[in-house]
A and B are shown apart, each in its own frame.
Chain A
Amino acid sequence: MLSARDIMTTDVVTISGSATIAEAVKIMKDAGLRALIVDRRSDSDPYGIVTETDIVYKVAAFGHDPKKMRVYEIMTKPCVVVNPDLGVEYVARLFANARIRRAPVIEGKLLGIISISDILKKSDFVEKPKQLYIEDRLDVAREEARAICAEKGATSPECAAAWDVVEELQAAAADKRQEKKTVNSLEAYCAENPDAEEYRIYDD
Chain B
Amino acid sequence: MMQAQEIMTKDVVTISGSATIAEAVKLMKDKGLRALIVERRSDSDPYGIVTETDIVYKVAAFGHDPKKMRVYEIMTKPCVIINPDLGVEYVARLFANTRIRRAPVVKGKLLGVISISDILNKSDFVEKPKSEFELYCEENPSALEARIYD
Contacts from A to B (Cβ < 8 Å)? 21-22, 25-26, 28-29, 34, 52-53, 55-67, 88-89, 92-93, 95-96, 101, 116-117, 119-121, 123, 125-126, 129-132
Contacts and interface: CB of A to CB of B under 8 A. Distances in A.
Contacts of B101: 53
Contact of B95 (A57, A117, A119): A57
Q: Which of B25, B53, B67, B125 has the most CB of A within 10 A?
A: B125
A25 B120 contact: yes
Contacts of B65: 129
A28 to B, nearest CB: 7
Given A56-B120, A57-B92, A63-B134, A129 B63 contact: yes
Given A60-B125, A120-B25, A126 B116 contact: no
B146 to A, nearest CB: 16
17 contacts: A25-B120, A28-B120, A52-B117, A56-B120, A58-B96, A60-B88, A60-B119, A60-B120, A63-B132, A64-B129, A88-B60, A92-B57, A116-B53, A120-B25, A120-B28, A125-B63, A129-B60
Nearest to B117: A52
A117 B92 contact: no
A89 B57 CA distance: 10
B116 A120 contact: no
A61 B63 contact: no
A61 B120 contact: no
Given A55-B120, A56-B119, A22 B96 contact: no
Given A29-B120, A61-B92, A63-B132, A95 B66 contact: no
A34 B60 contact: no
Contact of B121 (A29, A53, A119): A29
B63 A130 contact: yes
A52 B65 CA distance: 31
Contacts of A93: 61-62
Contacts of A53: 101, 116
Interface of B: 21-22, 25-26, 28-29, 34, 52-53, 55-67, 88-89, 92-93, 95-97, 101, 116-117, 119-121, 123, 125-126, 129-132, 134-135
A56 B116 contact: yes
A131 B55 CA distance: 15
B129 A95 contact: no
The 6 lowest CB-CB distance pairs between A and B, nearest first, are: A57-B96, A96-B57, A92-B61, A131-B63, A61-B92, A61-B96
Contact of A66 (B97, B126, B134): B126
Residue from the set B34, B67, B96, B130 with the largest chain A CB neighbour count within 10 Å:
B96
Contacts of B125: 59-60, 63, 66
Contacts of B123: 60
Contact of A92 (B22, B56, B120, B132): B56
B60 A101 contact: no
A96 B29 contact: no
Contact of A123 (B28, B60, B116, B131): B60
Given A55-B120, A117-B34, A67 B126 contact: yes
Contacts of A126: 21-22, 25-26, 66-67
Contacts of A56: 92, 95-96, 116, 119-120
A74 B136 CA distance: 25
